[in-house]
Amino acid sequence: MTSIMSRNAKPAHKSAARVLGYALTAGDFETWNAASAAWEARLTAQERAALAYMTLKSLDYDDAIDVVDAVFPPAHGRAAA
């Protein structure tokens, strides 16, 4: 018996899900960085934005701000939160 994911998911989505599993398991910067590149190649901008948005929403406010500051440092033209 196959899962609903196996039967119905787009190949790119299956691949993106596997990449997430690898990154969670390895837990190191290099693997997460490779996951980011894989998602850029396999997911649409809208899919990546939804993933980023919901991931940030899952964090406490201060932790979410820390992530945003790490990606977009205030010193590079963005006002600090």
Give the pLDDT confidence score for residue 77 in this predicted structure.
Answer: 64
Q: For 48-75, how does the pLDDT look when each residue is reduced to its tens digit (9 = 90+)? A: 999 999 999 999 999 999 999 999 888 7
Helical spans, DSSP H, in 1-81? 4-8, 11-26, 29-42, 45-57, 61-71
- Mean model confidence pLDDT for the chain: 91
Contacts of 7 (CB under 8 A, 6+ apart): none
Confidence of residue 47 (pLDDT cuts 50, 70, 90): very high
